[in-house]
Amino acid sequence: MQTERKSQNTARRFSLCLIALALLSACTVRVPEGVETVQDFELERYLGTWYEIGRLDHRFERGLSRVTANYALNDDGTVRVTNRGYRDADGEWEEAEGRAKFVGARDVGELKVSFFGPFYGSYNIMHLDRGVENYRVSLVAGPNKGNLWLLARTPVLDQASKDELVAMARAAGFPVEELIWVPQDS
pTM of the full structure: 0.82
CATH of domain 31-181: 2.40.128.20
Q: What is the pLDDT of residues 29-87, one digit of tens each?
A: 788 888 999 999 999 999 999 999 999 998 889 999 999 999 999 999 999 999 999 99
Q: What is the pLDDT of residues 130-174, one digit of tens each?
A: 777 889 999 999 999 999 999 999 999 999 999 999 999 999 999
Whether 19 shows a pLDDT value over 50: the answer reads: no
pLDDT number for residue 5 = 59
Domain positions in the chain: 1-30, 31-181
DSSP assignments along the chain, one per residue? -HHHHHHHHHHHHHHHHHHHHHHHHHS---PPTT----BS--HHHH-EEEEEEEE---TTTTTEEEEEEEEEE-TTS-EEEEEEEEETTTTEEEEEEEEEEESS-TTBSEEEEEEETTEEEEEEEEEE--SSSS--EEEEE-SSTT-EEEEESSS---HHHHHHHHHHHHHTT--GGG-EEPP---
